[in-house]
Amino acid sequence: MSQQTIKNLADLLASGKTSSVELCQDYLARIGARNPELNAFITVDPDKTLAEARAADAARAAGSAGPLTGVPVAHKDIFCAEGWLTTCGSRMLHNFVSPYDAHVISQFKAAGMPTLGKTNMDEFAMGSSNETSHFGAVKNPWDVARVPGGSSGGSAACVAAGLAPAATGTDTGGSIRQPAALTGITGLKPTYGVVSRYGMIAFASSLDQAGPMARTAEDCALLLNVMAGFDERDSTSLERENEDYARDLAKPLNGLRIGLPKEFFGAGLTGDTAQAVQAAINEFRKLGATTVEVSLPNSGLSVAAYYVIAPAEASSNLSRFDGVRYGYRTKDYTDLTDMYEKTRAEGFGAEVKRRILIGTYVLSHGYYDAYYIQAQKLRRLIAQDFAKAYEQCDVILGPTAPTTAFKLGEKADDPVQMYLSDIYTIAVNLAGLPGISMPCGFDAQGLPIGLQLIGDYFAEARMLNVAHQYQLATDWHQRTPGGY
């Protein structure tokens, strides 16, 4: 039962072969047994979970259930959830119990999907390895000596290990897709604005986007149907008609044009990853797709642009954490200024402080024009590169990450090498495009390799169709870590 898809669980519930309470009890038992090893969850509350499960079963008995009613899901601890501890992986919010629900949480509640718990994450979503969390590093279930990727590493690890059938994540520079790749699951970042950011604790407001993480592309389509929708409380939420993201899953790929960016297949890509991606390209050709080389000439500068823009926005967003209204406050201080300084010095971790300092610097007088404005100009050029590429193709394909999961602590002392883990994903966020990562093979050490598809704006249904057809033809997404 633990490795069932969302679709399979929904069918079992609809047929009466199981109940939501039984499902949740099974997953809670697995969390209790395996989470101490993986550290994927920060907070679990069985009483809350089972109360929601009983309500879901009652809805099914009354004939008022939706397609996914009763299917449990885990949520990244960046989403405010009423009555739940919401920490964002930081000491700064270690005792914050949210008084309201994020839009994403309320959407899942409305769908009748019980919450299994809040998953561990890099502090304030700043990291690529899930090692910056105040609550300790998350372990990769494929090898507990390795990272699961970040910042949504807890969500990725719990799905890969079968502690939850699906989880929510957020993607600012690759934080859904990169951990999905490193743990062998499927993760989707929607077009910017398709999913409301209301109640999602902000890192970089123009880049953050929530999305689903599950075993299959089909599951991600069903979950996006729940998550997406206009929300007037979020000024960046797009007012569009609701759509069924699963509508095109069964379409054949005959005539599909796949763009292969030459910049994604150069130096830095490991041999095992390159071979697995090439094998996937060959599989798509068998399915009727054609390939064309495209160019994203400014993509190599995306990391540099991102690490100006994202820290700049973070330095503004995190100024709200001052120890006055909520969250951590230092015990000993002499005056208000001293309280601010000590609270932030003690409450924020090293990576968060690093990014706040960088962001404040690039926004300061004399450097704003030299760094921040230039980065924004480069961002526009990156978006234009994608627009030009889509004149020649329908989707873009490449590796999700240049390597498989690295060892815990291996890059902790080298921020630049850590940042380069997201070299293939960041450009997608800068352009606001949708992207999906799915497993396409394993390296010589038995670690999963991720394949990334990038769609044009609002092309999630087409992108999910391409991913689903690949998964029907292969079984990489069905592989599970040993012992789980």
- Respond yes or no on whether the N-terminal peptide bond of residue 319 is cis (omega within 30° of 0): no
Side-chain half-sphere CA neighbours of 311 within 13 A? 26
| pLDDT at 385 (0 to 100) | 98
Of 202, 196, 191, nearest to 230 (Cα)? 196
- By residue range, what is the domain housing residue 310? 301-373
- Report the distance separating Cα 370 and Cα 100, nearest Å: 40
**Alpha-carbon distances of 357 from 156, 229, 253, 354, 360, rounded to whole Å:** 29, 35, 48, 5, 5
Tens-digit pLDDT profile for residues 238-283: 999 999 999 999 999 999 999 999 999 988 899 999 999 999 999 9
Mean pLDDT over the full length of the chain = 97
Residue 359 included in any domain: yes
E-strand spans in 157-256? 166-170, 186-189, 210-214
- Report the distance separating Cα 12 and Cα 42, nearest Å: 29
Residue 422 included in any domain: no
What share of the chain has pLDDT > 70, as a percent? 100
Residue 334 included in any domain: yes
Residue 188 included in any domain: no
Of 253, 255, 186, nearest to 223 (Cα)? 186
| pLDDT at 267 (0 to 100) | 81
| pLDDT at 183 (0 to 100) | 98
Structural domain count, the chain = 1
| pLDDT at 106 (0 to 100) | 98
Of 421, 103, 366, 65, nearest to 237 (Cα)? 103
Residue 419 included in any domain: no
**Rounded (5°) CA angle 132-138-140:** 130
- Report the distance separating Cα 319 and Cα 311, nearest Å: 12
What residues are annotated to the active site? Answer: 76, 151, 175
**Alpha-carbon distances of 316 from 27, 160, 311, 451, rounded to whole Å:** 39, 35, 9, 34
Amino acid making up residue 320: R
Q: Sign of the C-alpha dihedral, residues 83, 71, 142, 185? A: negative
- Report the distance separating Cα 213 and Cα 219, nearest Å: 8
Amino acid making up residue 47: D
Of 19, 44, 52, 68, nearest to 163 (Cα)? 44
Residue 316 included in any domain: yes
Question: What are 421's two structure tokens?
Answer: 């883990």
Tell me the whole-structure pTM to 2 decimals: 0.97
Residue 392 included in any domain: no
Query: pLDDT 10s digit of each residue in the chain, 484 long?
Result: 678 999 999 999 999 999 999 999 999 999 999 999 999 999 999 999 999 999 999 999 999 999 999 999 999 999 999 999 999 999 999 999 999 999 999 999 999 999 999 999 999 999 999 999 999 999 999 999 999 999 999 999 999 999 999 999 999 999 999 999 999 999 999 999 999 999 999 999 999 999 999 999 999 999 999 999 999 999 999 999 999 999 999 999 999 999 999 999 988 899 999 999 999 999 999 999 999 999 999 999 999 999 999 999 999 999 999 999 889 999 999 999 999 999 999 999 999 999 999 999 999 998 999 999 999 999 999 999 999 999 999 999 999 999 999 999 999 888 888 888 899 999 999 999 999 999 999 999 999 999 999 999 999 999 999 999 999 999 999 999 998 8
Write the CB contacts of 133 (distance below 8 Å, at least 6 apart in sequence): 42, 89, 120, 121, 122, 123, 127, 154
C-beta separation of 439 from 400 below 8 A: no
| pLDDT at 1 (0 to 100) | 62
Residue 124 included in any domain: no
